[in-house]
């Protein structure tokens, strides 16, 4: 089954304690992305990756890091979490935008990770 998985689904942590949210896809997608969702603000892109070892900042990258060492995995790292990073996080993957002509540029979203930073 084609899917994007995220772990953990729920996390409560304290300010300053480093954490990693994992994201994995089994569709051999080149493009992966992280979003945060906050009430009234919709989805905001944090970082995206066009392929292995290629990452770039989205709209709200401050306080986050990512890595793309393998095609299937795209972890989100919070080196020193702060309460303003309390949010619902989604990972997504899709075909490379440059190959979108083959069909629809569907982004598949993971189930979400609800993070609370105290």
Partner 1 sequence: GENVEQHPSTLSVQEGDSAVIKCTYSDSASNYFPWYKQELGKGPQLIIDIRSNVGEKKDQRIAVTLNKTAKHFSLHITETQPEDSAVYFCAASRAYSSASKIIFGSGTRLSIRP
Which residues contribute to the site for partner 1 (CB under 8 A)? 4, 31, 33, 35, 40-45, 48, 50, 56, 58-59, 90, 92, 97-98, 100, 104-107, 109-112
> Could you give the maximum distance between any two Cα atoms of the chain, in Å?
45
Supply the minimum distance, in Å, between the C-beta of residue 30 and partner 1.
Answer: 10
Residue 71: C-alpha distances to residues 24, 50, 52, 86 (Å):
9, 10, 5, 28
Q: Which is nearer to partner 1, 37 or 73 (CB)?
A: 37
Q: Which is nearer to partner 1, 6 or 85 (CB)?
A: 6
Supply the minimum distance, in Å, between the C-beta of residue 80 and partner 1.
Answer: 25
Q: Which is nearer to partner 1, 59 or 70 (CB)?
A: 59
CB 34 within 8 A of CB 55: no
CB 83 within 8 A of CB 118: yes
Give the number of other Cβ atoms within 10 Å of residue 105's Cβ: 13
Supply the minimum distance, in Å, between the C-beta of residue 63 and partner 1.
Answer: 18
């Amino acid at each position: 089954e084609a899917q994007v998985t995220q772990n953990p689904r729920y996390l409560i942590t304290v300010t300053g304690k480093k954490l990693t949210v994992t994201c994995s896809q089994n569709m051999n997608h080149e493009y992966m992305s992280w979003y945060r969702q906050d009430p009234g603000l919709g989805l905001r892109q944090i970082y995206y990756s066009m392929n292995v070892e290629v990452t770039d900042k989205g709209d709200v990258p401050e306080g986050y890091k990512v890595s793309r060492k393998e095609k299937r995995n795209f972890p989100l790292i919070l080196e020193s979490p702060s309460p303003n990073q309390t949010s619902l996080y989604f990972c997504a993957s899709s075909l490379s935008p440059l190959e979108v002509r083959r069909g629809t540029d569907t982004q598949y979203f993971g189930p979400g990770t609800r993070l609370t930073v105290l």
